[in-house]
Amino acid sequence: MISRLCESRSLSLEEYAQLIDGRDAEAAALLAARADAARRQVYGNRVFIRGLIEISNICKNDCLYCGIRRSNAGCARYRLEKDDILSCCEQGYALGFRTFVMQGGEDGYFTDERMADIVRAIKARYPDCAVTLSLGERGYESFARLREAGADRYLLRHETASPAHYARLHPKEMSFERRMRCLQDLKRLGYQVGCGFMVGSPYQTTRDLAADLRFIEEFSPQMVGIGPFIPHAATPFAGRSAGSAELTCYLLSILRLMHPAVLLPATTALGTIDSAGRERGILAGANVVMPNLSPAAVRKKYALYDNKLSDGDESAQGVESLRRRMAAIGYEIVTDRGDHPDTPSTII
Ligand code: SAH
């Protein structure tokens, strides 16, 4: 099955499920070796860095897994203003970052007007940089206005491709169809789009994971973000077990073989669950790392899950140390935008 995945870049739902359930150390090593070869053909040994700016932990949604959900009264809320964000970019630029990712809860303060103004300001000061947004669900017109303002990429994990599983992770007022529609809208508007899911989230079955893989195969995004689910003590999923680094890495290898040119981060959650998670992710086929560029004073407040890393090598200021860690396993952190080779050129 691994050989067939390498050749046709595609498997059926049943086959993905079998590949997951039948895994052992030997299959994982073979997948990782093939994934590494596929990645080297497109990107060599280059690893791209993205500066992650967590602009607000205020959120109107109540996702059951997330530590910044609106019902978590114990969460100390914050929001960055335009000037704070620009100063993060200034520091990030000096450190060699050429992509800025603005991520946040669904905070009504960031209207299209305010957000477009921030995107325009960043693009005016740093025309050689890519701007990525990860601000949750918005309407088509809103995505269009932000794209017009200069946003290049949008990260919106689909979270799960199974409607029944989606309903167990989210409150009733949130909809699977709406999330999927947002992803289609983003693609139509010419964004480089990232989807993704958590590994080992509550109630997730092998079939759900196989459905995620089928969806990603078909949707063919430029980026895919996956990381282990990690419980947060102040959510309904407190005390649940976390997802594993092992399965996350196995899935990273499958994703690399399915889409050889996809931009695939070794995520913070992977680094949190395993101190060698970043390296393990890269060796399995990931080619992106996203250190934290948020101001030190708010970093700990963007607590999606317990013990989330934000200091040391996880911070943008730790990029030199990260560079050494990557070099030690044969990979080179580079300073460029790191666009997908099939970047849409349509500016609407
Ligand atoms: N509001 C934005 C950003 C969400 S935070 C949005 O809706 O897209 C980014 C991602 O963190 C989420 O998409 C989710 O997959 C992940 N995440 C949230 N809680 C988590 C947890 N407890 N463990 C692991 N990952 C989590």
* Nearest residue (CA) to ligand 1, atom 12: 157
Distance CA 299, CA 39 (A): 32
- Helices 112-125 and 140-148: crossing angle in degrees, nearest 10, is 20
CB of 146 within 6 A of ligand 1: the answer is no
Global pTM?
A: 0.97
For residue 26, how far is its CA from the centre of ligand 1 (angstroms)?
31
CB of 101 within 6 A of ligand 1: the answer is no
Q: Which residues of 204-222 are buried (b: 16+ CB within 10 A; e: fewer)?
A: beebbbbbbbbbbbebebb
* Nearest residue (CA) to ligand 1, atom 8: 136
* Contact of 157 with 195, CB cutoff 8 Å: yes
Distance CA 139, CA 142 (A): 5
Residue 344: per-residue pLDDT: 75
Closest by Cα among 129, 131, 151, 71 to 105 = 71
Residue 157: per-residue pLDDT: 98
What is the three-class DSSP state of 52? strand
pLDDT digit string, tens, across residues 326-338: 999 999 999 999 9
To test ligand 1's pocket by mutation, which of 153, 154, 157 has the most ligand atoms within 8 angstroms of CB? 157
Distance CA 66, CA 168 (A): 13
CB of 305 within 6 A of ligand 1: the answer is yes
Distance CA 225, CA 235 (A): 22
pLDDT digit string, tens, across residues 92-131: 999 999 999 999 999 999 999 999 999 999 999 999 999 9
CB of 106 within 6 A of ligand 1: the answer is yes
CB of 156 within 6 A of ligand 1: the answer is yes
Going from N- to C-terminal start, the domains of the chain cover: 2-333
Find tokens 């102040």 and name the residue: 234
* Nearest residue (CA) to ligand 1, atom 24: 229
Number of Cβ within 10 Å of residue 151's Cβ equals 27
The ligand 1 atom at the shortest distance from the C-alpha of residue 157 is 13
The ligand 1 atom at the shortest distance from the C-alpha of residue 237 is 22
CB of 166 within 6 A of ligand 1: the answer is no
CB of 52 within 6 A of ligand 1: the answer is no
Closest by Cα among 194, 256, 261, 258 to 225 = 194
Q: Report in angstroms the alpha-carbon separations of 257 from 25, 27, 46.
A: 18, 14, 17
The CATH T-level fold of domain 2-333 is TIM Barrel (3.20.20)
Number of Cβ within 10 Å of residue 314's Cβ equals 21
Q: Which two tokens stand for residue 204?
A: 């997730």
Distance CA 230, CA 331 (A): 27
The contacts of residue 134 (CB under 8 Å, 6+ apart) are: 101, 102, 103, 104, 154, 155, 156, 194
The whole-angstrom distance between residue 12's C-alpha and the CA centroid of its chain comes to 25
Distance CA 165, CA 198 (A): 12
The ligand 1 atom at the shortest distance from the C-alpha of residue 137 is 7
242: DSSP letter: P
CB of 255 within 6 A of ligand 1: the answer is no
The phi, psi pair for 223, rounded to 5°, reads: -135, 150
Distance CA 68, CA 61 (A): 9
CB of 154 within 6 A of ligand 1: the answer is no
Pairing relationship of beta strands 130-134 and 51-56 according to DSSP bridges: unpaired
Distance CA 134, CA 106 (A): 10
Distance CA 42, CA 183 (A): 25
Residue 46: per-residue pLDDT: 98
* Nearest residue (CA) to ligand 1, atom 6: 136
Below-50 pLDDT ranges, the chain: 348
Q: Which two tokens stand for residue 173?
A: 């007022």
* Contact of 2 with 28, CB cutoff 8 Å: no
Residue 347: per-residue pLDDT: 52
Residue 342: per-residue pLDDT: 86
Find tokens 């890495």 and name the residue: 249
